[in-house]
Amino acid sequence: MKSYATEAGRGPVITALIFLLLFAVVTMAVSPSVAHEGHDHGTPAVTVSAAAPRVEASSESFELVGIVHGGAMRVYLDRFASNEPVTTATIDVTLDADTVRAEPQPDGSFLVGAPWLAKTGRLDLVFAVATDETSDLLIGTLDLPAEATGEAAGKSTLAISVRSPALWVIGFALFVVGVLFGRSLARRRSNEPPAPLAVPPATSTPEVKMRPERRARAVVMLAVVAIATAARVVLAHGDEDHGAVDDKPMAAVTSPAVATDSPRRLSDGSLFVPKPTQRLLTIRTQQARTGEASRTSTISGRVIADPTAGGRVQAAQGGRVEPLGDGLPVIGQRVLRGQVLVTVSPVITTLERGGVREQLAQIESSIAIAEQRVARLSQLQGSVPQREIDEARRELDGLRQRRRALGPSLAEREVVRASASGVISVANVVTGQLIESGAVLFEIVDPAKLWVEAIAYDAAATVDIRSAVATTADGATLPLELIGQSLTLRQQAVPVLFRITRPSPTLKVGTPVSVILQEIRTDKGIVLPTGSVVGAANGEDIVFEHVAAERFVPRPIRLRPLDGDRVEVLAGIGDGARVVTAGADLLSQIR
């Protein structure tokens, strides 16, 4: 009974302590919201989080970025239109009447050391830039924030909590409710007789039940948590305006969670690329300008050998291929016109060999008879006409010539020579191979003389051709010269021949190409280098617009190729936009 009474007496105290703990939780939960009471909480604009304070300034000639770190400011000066670094210049930085000259550094930047960099707040700076070509004044604003420590932040939160009367009212109410609720539980327990002790059977399963006062305390705790949440909402948002806020300039807000100067992609898809990274990636830009561009059309083609420079090597007779002393020619070997490549030994069967020998025997017999006739007529010279003697001698000479021609035919070889000067691109023979008459043994190509054979399914595209270029799959550009077009359709298309004026050393016969035909007619459009266009993950063609000193925005565009090195932008960007022309593929990899 004594322990039961003691527990009943401790009930109000325990309940009051629980409510005091909940009061502390409510204080910590509400105080951050109260700390900025009355502020605007609209959706914030997309901003760049930077670890170091920075200043940006630009004009028609220059673009400047100053980054403060370690008590000094490093200045990066670039050309506004092209983003080329300016490393030789004189830069004077003025704040009020204090002027400091920036010192050039080996990496192409400029270092500014001034006592006012140790200040905090908003500083309006004037940069006087002078180069050999021009001079300019640039004005920028530098925000130097004060460094807040964790102790100061804690004191501020505690002070706001102490000064808030609403929190004190909620805490006192919770404390009173806890005391009254604890006393009611104590009186209820004191009026109930203690339950007799009973030993459950060994085979029964013990049932765990929560006491009525514990269930009541749990319900009250949940109610207090709900009250705390409602109090936070009321106190934190009672007097605040949640309208949309005005857009703030880039690099104006710093988020400690992602405070870093590394390049990254922002929430709106744009890129934050610091000036040091831009110089490392060699980012270059060009201002988009509307100009005249030729109308173009694209047809498919392939590279072929110049039929007037290369050629095929064929055997006039069938036989067995035999190499020379230095072996068979191989692909890639350069040869000259008339150079001996291989020999072909005739292959004679036993029947054919017997027939040749029979002919030789007949010729030998005829030669013997002719010799006897010439000898007899020579003895009768003067009594027989000289004409008969001469005819017998000519007949003998003819038989001897037939013998000389027929005898070596059993072992005579055919010499195969190169039909043109160039490089062997195809070799279809091996040592000892039996070939037929007319078989193609080698194909010779002159790599300096190549053509393109294209197929145009639209005959109108080949009417007014001013110029043409071919592009390969790896981006190589081949200037073309029109040779002619066929008057006969091939598979419902017009064959067109072009001569490559500057062949590439790596170009191969049979390479598929895209032939871009430029017409005489022109249209107005924005012309950009091909390197400024990159492919997005969704398959769109995009370019990067340089909208701020350290910010780039991807712009989807619609284009058509011009000459392999340039494209015409039909839609997506406006006149005067600064478009990245070098390093766009590297920017597309930033995540």
Residues 161 and 133 in one domain: no
pLDDT of amino acid 91:
93
Whether residue 12 is found in the same domain as residue 152: yes
Given 412, 428, 456, the domain boundary residue is 412
CA atoms 548, 550, 551, 557: torsion sign: positive
Q: What does the pLDDT read at residue 555?
A: 93
482 and 558 together in one domain: yes
Q: Are residues 456 and 550 in the same domain?
A: yes
Does residue 341 lie in a domain region? no
The phi and psi torsions of 128 (rounded to 5 degrees) equal: -100, 110
Q: Does any domain span residue 503? A: yes
Torsion of CA 40, 46, 47, 48, to 10 degrees: 150
Asked if 42 and 168 sit in the same domain, the reply is yes
Beta bridge mates, 72: 69
* 152 and 140 fall within a common domain: no
Among the listed residues 228, 226, 176, 164, the one whose alpha carbon sits nearest the alpha carbon of residue 26? 228
- Residue 522 falls within a domain, yes or no? yes
Task: Identify whether residues 163 and 117 lie together within a single domain.
Answer: no
Does one domain contain both 183 and 132?
Answer: no
Q: Let me know if residue 311 belongs to a domain.
A: no
Which residue range(s) make up the domain with 288?
A: 281-306+446-587
Query: Which CATH number covers residue 85?
Result: 2.60.40
Same-domain status, 465 and 554? yes
Q: Which of 80, 74, 108, 71 is nearest to 93 (CA)?
A: 74
Compute CA distances 74 → 117, 226, 412, whole Å. Answer: 12, 53, 87
Residue 500 domain flag: yes
Same domain, 189 and 294: no
Same domain (yes/no): 6, 139: no
Q: Looking at 464-503, which runs of residues are DSSP E strands? A: 465-471, 477-485, 494-500
- Domain for residue 10, yes or no? yes
The answer to whether position 155 is within a domain reads: yes
Cβ neighbours of residue 16 under 8 Å, at least 6 residues apart?
175, 178, 179, 182
pLDDT of residue 1: 45
**pLDDT tens, position by position, for the chain (591 residues)?**
444 444 445 555 555 555 555 555 555 544 444 444 444 444 444 555 556 888 999 999 999 999 998 889 999 999 999 999 999 999 999 988 889 999 999 999 999 988 888 888 889 999 999 998 899 999 999 988 875 434 434 444 444 445 556 656 666 666 666 666 666 655 555 555 554 444 444 444 444 444 555 555 555 565 555 555 555 554 444 444 444 333 333 333 333 333 457 899 999 989 999 999 999 999 999 999 888 777 888 899 999 999 888 888 998 888 889 888 888 999 999 999 999 999 988 877 777 667 777 888 888 888 888 888 888 888 887 788 888 888 888 888 888 888 877 766 666 788 899 989 999 999 988 988 888 888 899 999 999 999 999 999 888 878 888 889 999 988 888 999 999 888 888 888 999 999 999 888 888 999 999 999 888 877 788 888 888 999 888 888 999 999 999 999 999 998 888 877 788 888 888 888 999 999 999 999 998
Cα distance between residue 214 and residue 191, in whole Å = 17
Are 518 and 393 found together in one domain? no
Q: How many domains does the chain have?
A: 4
Tell me the CB-side half-sphere exposure of residue 498, using CA atoms within 13 A: 30
Q: How far apart are CA 73 and CA 68, in angstroms?
A: 4
Q: What three-state secondary structure class fits 314?
A: strand
Token pair, residue 45, equals 């604009």
- CB atoms under 10 Å from CB of 365, counted, come to 11
pTM for the predicted model, two decimal places: 0.56
